């Protein structure tokens, strides 16, 4: 009786001497429900993660399996006392025992986050995993004591080695649909179970990233530029990212397709935004991609440019051809058209001025004719148009208009603004000098005869 009391006192003293550990997230361990032993073994179980059930399937060699009762080989000191991340060891006797050097695979019905792998008695054996891991801790377990070490013998191969009788926990970092490994030697027996802290979550990723810019650069006034915003789920395969993108407005438009989305990790979405400047200058607007996994703010920006139309006689004014001496004579009106854009935007067609077409209207339109071929006027250049006045009769001709079609406020070479001038000209039948002299002589003779 005295020995039992002394042993209890010593145990309490040891527990009191242990440093306090911060509370970790409770581990949810697999409830293995059924399995078949053998070289081609298999087992199924589930994880209840906050009420969401994730099915767990194991395929590979099984020496024996416990799914309902039996010895609990998960001695707490080897699991929950050796790592600050594990508060609770596997709570039941559920275990899959291995004995052969062969390949094994665990699969999950949906991605799980940072799975934990508890091992029992990895005696002189080891596991070669296809995923990197961290050793959380190991200690004295059901079959004794030993150590766990990790090696990386070649790229993509992560090896867990046991020396002595190690019992402990490792953790894979990330989100996983499956984990595969190979037992390195035949040894009867070593066992495991799998646990998690939660489900794998989707992760928002955009191109450009949060705070980035969709920069349309220089865009011609009256035309449209388009850029894509890529929205991706950077989480594991099997997760879904739901959210929406705020619509752009004004000189920016989008997204296209619609605002709401629900995308898997293997299905990035491109949303198209457009920029249609209606005037010269810098334009900017912010849009947001809002999801349960976070919000990204993207800036849309662009600069509107285009040709700057000018004429030495402003549109709407009158071009006066003056007086011609007789029908059939001709006089010329000169109209200087200039492109007054100043600067270099890297693409001359963004600021080129095209004179596309012309017409004369009014009852006197037939008295006027354009002699100069239409052309493209680059930034800083000008073109002199010659309009001929060729009257077919005497009189004043003032019901005529000259219309000039350009690509101002439109894409290069496309119909844009039209400019109009009024036209006027006069024709008077003035006799030639020789005819005037003859008329005077006739008049003088007539007067002389009357005097006689």
Both 290 and 403 in a single domain?
no
Both 32 and 57 in a single domain?
yes
Q: With 60 as the cut, is the pLDDT of residue 322 above it?
A: yes
pLDDT in tens, 372-412: 999 999 999 999 999 999 999 999 999 999 999 999 999 99
Question: Cα 191 vs. chain centroid, distance in angstroms?
Answer: 46
Q: With 70 as the cut, is the pLDDT of residue 145 above it?
A: yes
Both 319 and 297 in a single domain?
no
pLDDT of residue 430: 59
Assign 446 a pLDDT band (cuts: 50, 70, 90): very low
Least trusted range by pLDDT, from 35-49, 80-94, 317-331 = 80-94
Assign 439 a pLDDT band (cuts: 50, 70, 90): very low
pLDDT of residue 257: 63
* 434 within some domain: no
Find residue 106's DSSP bridge partners: 58, 179
Summary count for the chain: helices (H), strands (E) = 2, 34
pLDDT of residue 432: 52
Listed in sequence order, the residues at least 6 apart from 170 whose beta carbon sits closer than 8 Å to its beta carbon are 116, 117, 119, 133, 134, 135, 136, 148, 160
CA 276 – CA 208 distance, rounded (Å) = 21
The highest-confidence range among 8-22, 209-223, 234-248, by mean pLDDT, is: 209-223
Assign 175 a pLDDT band (cuts: 50, 70, 90): confident
Listed in sequence order, the residues at least 6 apart from 20 whose beta carbon sits closer than 8 Å to its beta carbon are none
Find residue 202's DSSP bridge partners: none
* 12 within some domain: no
Least trusted range by pLDDT, from 29-33, 109-113, 150-154, 249-253 = 109-113
pLDDT of residue 329: 94
* 260 within some domain: yes
Q: With 80 as the cut, is the pLDDT of residue 14 above it?
A: no
Listed in sequence order, the residues at least 6 apart from 17 whose beta carbon sits closer than 8 Å to its beta carbon are none
Average pLDDT rounded to a whole number, residues 338-366: 97
CA 164 – CA 265 distance, rounded (Å) = 42
Q: Where are the alpha helices (DSSP H) in 261-356?
A: none
Closest CA to 408 of 324, 319, 311, 328: 311
CA 379 – CA 437 distance, rounded (Å) = 57
* 11 within some domain: no
pLDDT of residue 23: 43
* 314 within some domain: yes
- Residue 368 CB coordination number (10 Å): 23
pLDDT of residue 449: 45
pLDDT of residue 25: 66
Both 34 and 97 in a single domain?
yes
Average pLDDT rounded to a whole number, residues 297-301: 97
3-state secondary structure of 443: helix
Assign 224 a pLDDT band (cuts: 50, 70, 90): very high
Assign 308 a pLDDT band (cuts: 50, 70, 90): very high
Average pLDDT rounded to a whole number, residues 39-53: 93
Single out the residue in 139, 174, 199 at which a domain terminates.
199
Both 361 and 242 in a single domain?
no
Query: Of residues 63 and 112, which shows the higher confidence score?
Result: 63
Q: With 50 as the cut, is the pLDDT of residue 320 above it?
A: yes
* 182 within some domain: yes
Q: Are 171 and 82 in contact (CB under 8 A)?
A: no
Both 250 and 118 in a single domain?
no
Both 283 and 329 in a single domain?
no
pLDDT of residue 375: 97
| Cis peptide bond N-terminal to 208, omega within 30 | yes
Q: With 70 as the cut, is the pLDDT of residue 441 above it?
A: no
- C-alpha dihedral, 133 to 137 to 143 to 145, nearest 10°: 120
CA 291 – CA 271 distance, rounded (Å) = 15
Single out the residue in 199, 232, 262 at which a domain terminates.
199
pLDDT of residue 38: 96
CA 114 – CA 195 distance, rounded (Å) = 9
Listed in sequence order, the residues at least 6 apart from 442 whose beta carbon sits closer than 8 Å to its beta carbon are none
Both 74 and 152 in a single domain?
yes
* 16 within some domain: no
- Chain mean pLDDT for the chain: 88
CA 439 – CA 450 distance, rounded (Å) = 17
The residue assigned the tokens 């970092």 is 173
CA 201 – CA 258 distance, rounded (Å) = 24
**Domain count for the chain:** 3
CA 388 – CA 360 distance, rounded (Å) = 12
What percentage of the chain has pLDDT greater than the value 90? 73
Average pLDDT rounded to a whole number, residues 226-254: 90
Listed in sequence order, the residues at least 6 apart from 95 whose beta carbon sits closer than 8 Å to its beta carbon are 32, 65, 66, 70, 73, 74, 120, 191, 192, 193
Listed in sequence order, the residues at least 6 apart from 87 whose beta carbon sits closer than 8 Å to its beta carbon are 23, 24, 25, 26, 27, 80
Single out the residue in 151, 172, 199 at which a domain terminates.
199
pLDDT of residue 258: 65
Element (H, E) at 345: none
pLDDT in tens, 255-273: 876 678 999 887 899 999 9
10 Å CB burial of residue 96 (0-12, 13-18, 19+) is buried
Longest dimension (CA), the chain: 183
Both 48 and 144 in a single domain?
yes
Q: What CATH number does the domain containing 220 carry?
A: 2.60.40.10
Both 318 and 288 in a single domain?
no
Least trusted range by pLDDT, from 44-48, 58-62, 234-238, 331-335 = 234-238
* 357 within some domain: yes
CA 48 – CA 34 distance, rounded (Å) = 16
Q: Residue 404: which domain range?
A: 309-427
As a 3-state breakdown, the chain gives helix, strand, coil percent values, each rounded to 5, of 10, 50, 40
Least trusted range by pLDDT, from 199-203, 213-217, 280-284, 424-428 = 199-203
CA 366 – CA 315 distance, rounded (Å) = 21
51: alpha, beta or left? (left if phi > 0; alpha if psi -120 to 50) = left
Assign 277 a pLDDT band (cuts: 50, 70, 90): very high
Least trusted range by pLDDT, from 91-100, 228-237, 352-361, 374-383 = 228-237
Average pLDDT rounded to a whole number, residues 183-193: 95
pLDDT of residue 225: 97
Both 50 and 194 in a single domain?
yes
Both 142 and 234 in a single domain?
no
């Amino acid at each position: 009786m005295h020995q039992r009391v002394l042993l209890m006192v010593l145990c309490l003293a040891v527990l009191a001497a242990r440093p306090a550990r911060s509370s970790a997230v409770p581990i949810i361990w697999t409830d293995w429900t059924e399995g078949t032993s053998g070289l081609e073994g298999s087992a199924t179980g589930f994880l209840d993660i906050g009420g969401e059930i994730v099915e767990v399937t194991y395929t590979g060699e099984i020496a024996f399996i416990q799914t309902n009762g039996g010895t609990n080989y998960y001695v707490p000191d080897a699991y929950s006392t050796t790592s600050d991340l594990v508060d609770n060891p596997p709570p039941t006797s559920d275990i899959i025992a291995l004995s052969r050097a062969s390949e094994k695979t665990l699969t999950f019905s949906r991605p799980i986050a940072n799975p934990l792998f508890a091992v029992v008695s990895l005696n002189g054996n080891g596991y070669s995993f296809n995923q990197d891991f961290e050793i959380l801790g190991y200690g004295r377990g059901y079959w004794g004591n030993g150590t766990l070490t990790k090696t990386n013998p070649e790229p993509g191969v992560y090896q867990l080695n046991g020396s002595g009788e190690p019992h402990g926990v490792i953790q894979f970092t990330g989100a996983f649909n499956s984990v595969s490994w190979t037992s390195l030697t035949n040894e009867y027996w070593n066992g495991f179970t799998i646990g998690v802290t939660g489900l794998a979550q989707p992760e928002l990723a955009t191109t450009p990233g949060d705070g980035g810019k969709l920069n349309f650069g220089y865009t011609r006034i009256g035309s449209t530029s388009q850029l894509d915003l890529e929205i991706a789920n950077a989480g594991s395969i099997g997760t879904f990212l739901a959210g929406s993108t705020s619509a752009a407005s004004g000189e920016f438009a989008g997204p296209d397709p619609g605002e709401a989305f629900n995308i898997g990790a293997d299905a990035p979405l491109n949303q198209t935004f457009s920029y249609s400047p209606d005037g010269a200058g810098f334009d900017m607007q912010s849009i947001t991609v809002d999801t349960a996994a976070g919000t990204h703010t993207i800036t849309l920006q662009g600069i509107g440019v285009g040709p700057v139309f000018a004429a030495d006689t402003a549109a709407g004014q009158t071009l006066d051809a003056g007086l011609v001496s007789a029908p059939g004579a001709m006089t010329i009106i000169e109209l200087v058209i200039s492109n007054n854009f100043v600067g270099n935007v890297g693409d001359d067609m963004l600021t080129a001025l095209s004179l596309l077409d012309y017409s004369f209207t009014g009852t006197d339109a037939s008295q006027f004719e354009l002699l100069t071929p239409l052309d493209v006027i680059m930034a800083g250049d000008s073109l002199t148009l010659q309009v001929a006045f060729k009257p077919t009769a005497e009189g004043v001709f003032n019901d005529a208009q000259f219309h000039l079609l350009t690509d101002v406020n439109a894409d290069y070479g496309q119909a844009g603004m039209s400019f109009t001038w009024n036209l006027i000209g006069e024709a008077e039948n003035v006799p030639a000098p020789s005819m005037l002299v003859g008329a005077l002589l006739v008049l003088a003779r007539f007067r002389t005869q009357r005097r006689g």
